Amino acid sequence: MVALAALAPTVSYGDSVVHDSDQHESSRGVPWTSVRQAPRQRVRVSDLKPPRSGVPLSVMLHFGYESALRLVRLATPVLSRGEGKLARGLRGRDDQRGHLEGWAREHRDPGLPLVWFHAPSVGEGLQALAVARAIRRSRPEVQLAFTHFSPSARGLAESMVEAGDVDVAGYMPWDLVSETGRLLDTLSPSVVAFTKTEVWPGIVRAARRRGIPMVLVAATLPENAGRLRFPARRILRGTFGSLVRVLAISPEDGARFQFLGVRPDRVRVTGDPGVDSAVERADQAREDAPWARALADFVAEVAPEAVPGGAPPALAPESEEGGGGAPILPGVVAGSTWGPDEEVLLEGMERLGSLRPRLLVAPHEPDEAHLRPLEARLDRGGWCHARLGEVEARGSATGLDAVVVDRVGILAHLYRFLPVAFVGGGFHGQGLHSVVEPAAVGRPVLHGPRFANSLAAAELGEGGGARVVADADALARALRHWGRDPASLEAAGRAARSWVDRHRGAASRTAEALEGWL
């Protein structure tokens, strides 16, 4: 049951779909980019036959899906114990029960349009945030709601409300048609905007019954995605075929969604709004934060521009020691790391011996279950380290060569503190995390070989703004090269930022694409 709950976004059921005309086409004549139709797939006659029982497949899948969710819900008192992500998510969802409906009863203006954004976690939430801000700028009267699935996004959701980016935010309710239907009735959204790939079948079924259009923004689908294979592709066609618009980040992504039942004329390429979000965060430096001031002495030697009032970017010159010079190697900010990423990273840096760079490491899940093994590994490697909270408390990082970040929400700002970024996920089954944030502050990126889910990483690599490191030796070689050739490091940083500048504007294009329903 736990596995079913965790995989719920990938589970769907195939209702028959009546394709309406594109009556919601934007009246503004947005210059969208279309994609050509994907190659037709051979359909076997056996695929079209109903189950032998005579019960429609959609009914069977819907019954099984909702039954599984109801069983998980009954087990919530047991599953919500502890501090794991599942437990925290179940508790948070229970704490906020009725929150969205309560807001709607008190504050929903039926005379105004409302966009309901949904995102699974923080990365997708930041993409939705960029679009929400673009709508706020162009249509300030539009009401905006935001929901999320992961407890990791709760802080982001709360900050969105505090900043006025959205009117209400909270956990997505249980994906039961009875609950999602009730929320749709009270929110009365003009359009439901799912983010990236997370399309929930319960919401889709309830929204379709009410004639509420559904779109997918920042849509991306890697070529190795399990959803493109049988039987997932067949099961998902009904749900994805119900989307009236898919706003993809690239033509290739848009074409793949056609294999999931999306009509070609409903696909538009608007780009990745996460790029605009990363630029906004990069421009909001938090130099006066206590933790930032406490790191000043830690970063000044290798990244003086990160220190308030510091000099322009420069690396220390090579010394006269060691036959040909022994450079001070560039420090590394490692973001969104998992255990396998950290092992490769630390082993590679330790192979540099006395030239070992300084390190800021921000795990993807900075809870005790992850921080303690990481600190034990640092101890074994001979690192002098402390948590960021300890550094902040004493106001200095003097004497340290590694700082472990024990909080979320500051990674985009941390990347500017040291000259090189290492992005996690490339040695982990989760796949590579966002490389856009470090690129937005002009930092070249190192990452592992698992990046099929990241078009940005592939394009950054082609342009010289990122490098794939297959193992610890490759990582050590990359750092040694950049230490001996500061000009190449600076060029890689410029290439990274140049890629970001070329891909800006997706948030505004996406907001304009939604205009037809507002």
From the CB of residue 181, how many other CB atoms can be counted at a distance below 10 Å? 17
At residue 335, the 3 state secondary structure works out as: strand
* pLDDT confidence of residue 422: 98
In a domain, 121, yes or no: yes
Which positions ≥6 away from 508 have C-beta within 8 Å? 134, 138, 276
Residues 455 and 342 in one domain: yes
* In the block, residue with structure tokens 């934007």: 26
Q: Is the dihedral of CA 452, 456, 457, 459 positive or negative?
A: positive
Q: What are the pLDDT digits (tens) for 132-169? A: 999 999 999 999 999 998 888 888 999 999 999 999 99
Q: Any idea how long the chain is?
A: 518
Q: Which residue has the higher pLDDT, 40 or 153?
A: 153
Q: Is the pLDDT of residue 366 over 60?
A: yes
Q: How far apart are CA 516 and CA 504, in angstroms?
A: 22
Give the DSSP letter of residue 336.
E
Q: Is the pLDDT of residue 127 over 80?
A: yes
Residues 114 and 147 in one domain: yes
In a domain, 463, yes or no: yes
In a domain, 49, yes or no: no
User: Residue 381: what are its φ and ψ, rounded to 5°?
Assistant: -85, 0
Six-digit token pair at 166? 């959205």
Q: Is the pLDDT of residue 446 over 60?
A: yes
Residues 189 and 309 in one domain: no
Q: How far apart are CA 198 and CA 128, in angstroms?
A: 12
Rg of the chain, C-alpha, whole Å: 24
In a domain, 44, yes or no: no
What average pLDDT is seen over the chain?
A: 82
Residues 262 and 303 in one domain: no
Q: How far apart are CA 129 and CA 134, in angstroms?
A: 9
Residues 296 and 247 in one domain: no
Residues 333 and 431 in one domain: yes
Q: How far apart are CA 164 and CA 161, in angstroms?
A: 5
Q: What are the pLDDT digits (tens) for 316-330? A: 333 333 334 445 578
pLDDT band at 79 (very low <50, low <70, confident <90, very high): low
Q: Is the dihedral of CA 230, 232, 238, 242 positive or negative?
A: negative
Q: Number of folded domains in the chain? A: 2
* In the block, residue with structure tokens 């009365």: 188
Give the DSSP letter of residue 449.
S
Largest CA distance in the chain: 82
Q: Could you tell me which of 80, 172, 77 has the C-alpha nearest to residue 117?
A: 172
Q: Which CATH number does the domain housing residue 264 bear? A: 3.40.50.11720
- How many whole angstroms from its chain centre is CA 247? 16
pLDDT band at 54 (very low <50, low <70, confident <90, very high): very low
One-letter amino acid identity for 149?
F
* pLDDT confidence of residue 373: 97
Answer for the pair 443, 435: CB distance below 8 angstroms, yes or no.
Answer: no
In a domain, 395, yes or no: yes
Report if pTM > 0.75.
yes
One-letter amino acid identity for 504?
R
Q: Could you tell me which of 161, 201, 162, 166 has the C-alpha nearest to residue 180?
A: 201
* pLDDT confidence of residue 58: 60
In a domain, 116, yes or no: yes
Residues 242 and 287 in one domain: no
One-letter amino acid identity for 351?
R
Residues 238 and 374 in one domain: no
Residues 512 and 490 in one domain: no
* pLDDT confidence of residue 379: 97
Residues 255 and 293 in one domain: no
Q: Which CATH number does the domain housing residue 312 bear? A: 3.40.50.2000
In a domain, 23, yes or no: no
Residues 251 and 299 in one domain: no
Q: Say whether the peptide bond before residue 77 is cis (omega within 30 degrees of 0).
A: no
In a domain, 416, yes or no: yes
Q: Is the pLDDT of residue 254 over 90?
A: yes
Six-digit token pair at 44? 């076997």
The set of long-range contacts for 85-91, using a CB threshold of 8 Å and a minimum separation of 24, is: 85/150, 85/151, 85/152, 85/365, 86/2, 86/5, 86/6, 88/151, 89/149, 89/150, 89/151, 89/171
Q: Is 1 exposed, middle or buried (0-12, 13-18, 19+ CB in 10 A)?
A: middle
At residue 366, the 3 state secondary structure works out as: coil
Residues 384 and 512 in one domain: no
- Residue 289, domain extent: 283-502
Q: Is the pLDDT of residue 53 over 50?
A: no
What number of helices (H) and strands (E) belong to the chain?
Answer: 24, 14
Answer for the pair 438, 496: CB distance below 8 angstroms, yes or no.
Answer: yes
* pLDDT confidence of residue 68: 73
